[in-house]
Chains A and B, each alone.
Chain A
Amino acid sequence: MEAAQSAESHLTRKNRGCRHTPADSGGGTDLRRHLTVLGAIIKRHVLAIVGLLCIPIILQAQESMNTVVVHADTPMDTISRHVYGQFAEHLGQCI
């Protein structure tokens, strides 16, 4: 991240035409700088790709959540007290 930031400020300097630094004198140093900038750009893109890859994971995490809406605004019938007072048992061939 720090590398990306420093490369960005370097790019800004370049765009302003501030190239009067001692390091500009050597062609090899210039190449190195270009590689550093390229590296920073790739790094940024890698971060973006990783970010994009995370989106399905986040969506999947949301899907694993169970949701229920209780409609207290539309009450229905009264539940007979017998509904929760008995149960059926399957005995193989009969109930």
Chain B
Amino acid sequence: MYTANSLNTSDNAFKDDQIVLTPTYHVFRMYSVHQDAVLLPVELRGQYYTNGADSIPALSVSASRDKEGKIHVSMANLHPTKAQTLRCELKGATCSGFSGEIITATAMNAYNDFGKPPAVIIRPYTDAQIAGGTVTIALPAKSVVTLEVD
């Protein structure tokens, strides 16, 4: 999960009677589709984000099927500068279409502030291709994408 020091700006989320929606808020909102849904195991093979001696998988993927039978796949590209392409294969399910959401920003340290247009906000996501039951997803650097598979 996302730690507060990478995404949250809780120190300045409240001001008098106003509230500003943080990236953490938006990401939790996006991941809420998995609540009370059935976990679908994922096998992920991919790139690493390396910084000095440290190395972590660049991508994180979660998938579940909700009570209505809809499959949601959430993907996070943790790499701050490198976009990733992810080929997603669904076993035991067909994929004819999708709807999606994305949250990202131009700068790594972008944040939402009072009296300014939101810099980090959820937007509709359409940058995925379906071919032969496989979905190819373009993940910009420092982004989180959730797809609802039809």
Contacts and interface: CB of A to CB of B under 8 A. Distances in A.
A65 B87 contact: yes
Contact of B86 (A66, A75, A84): A66
Interface in A40-74: 64-74
Given A71-B41, A88-B3, 5 more contacts: A64-B47, A72-B63, A74-B41, A78-B37, A78-B39
Interface of A: 64-81, 83-85, 87-90
Contact of A75 (B2, B24, B40, B46): B40
Given A78-B36, A89-B4, A68 B92 contact: no
Contacts of B131: none
A67 B40 contact: no
Contacts of B93: 70, 72-73
Given A69-B42, A87-B1, A75 B65 contact: yes
Interface residues of B, number: 43
Nearest to B88: A68
B35 A84 contact: yes
B71 interface: yes
Interface string B104-135: 00000000000000000000000000000000
B91 interface: yes
B38 A71 contact: no
B86 A89 contact: no
11 contacts: A66-B58, A68-B42, A68-B43, A68-B86, A70-B71, A70-B90, A71-B40, A77-B39, A85-B32, A85-B35, A89-B3
Contacts of B92: 71-74
A19 to B, nearest CB: 54
A77 B8 CA distance: 29
Contact of B42 (A65, A71, A84, A89): A71
Nearest to B7: A87
Residue of A77, A79, A88 with most chain B CB atoms under a 10 A cut-off: A79
Interface string B78-94: 00000011111111110
